[in-house]
Amino acid sequence: MQVPPNSDLTLGMVCVDKATPGRCTWRMTADERFANPAGILQGGFLGVFADSSMGAAAVTFVQGRKVFAANAEMKISFLAPVALGSVLTCTAEVVSGGSTVVFVEAGIVAEAKGSDERGAARLVARASSTYILRDRG
């Protein structure tokens, strides 16, 4: 198994905190390669960012166990457009979990480059997902 996966490397995702089991925070920049025709970040890339972050939270939830976390379903709500160059932070946390199924929620915040009022961090997406855990042995 490749860690980190190619999707995380392509997006430029970096884990900035995984100290608490079942919770992790990731960061990436909204790169121009991921723009839609309107010149803002295409929503599918926010979905990938949320999925990878929530999957990592699911894996850290089962402390000491080596598992695969397969996404069974996912919902994402886009709350605001993301300007290219914005720094995105996704915090994902297991809300409820057992030995084979976990439910995870995430919020994605964007901080635009610059020091004016548009540089203030704002919530741009919320996501939730159910993951099925399988031992990898």
pLDDT in tens, the chain (137 residues): 667 788 888 889 999 999 999 999 999 999 999 999 999 999 999 999 999 999 999 999 998 899 999 999 999 999 999 999 999 999 999 999 999 999 999 999 999 775 455 558 999 999 999 999 999 87
Contact assessment for residue 91 and residue 52, using Cβ atoms and an 8 Å cutoff: no
Give whole-number Cα distances, 66 to 1, 38, 75, 128, 133, in Å: 12, 42, 26, 23, 10
Q: How far is CA 62 from the centre of its chain?
A: 18
Domains by residue range for the chain, with CATH:
6-135 (3.10.129.10)
In this prediction the pTM is: 0.91
Contacts of 33 (CB under 8 A, 6+ apart): none
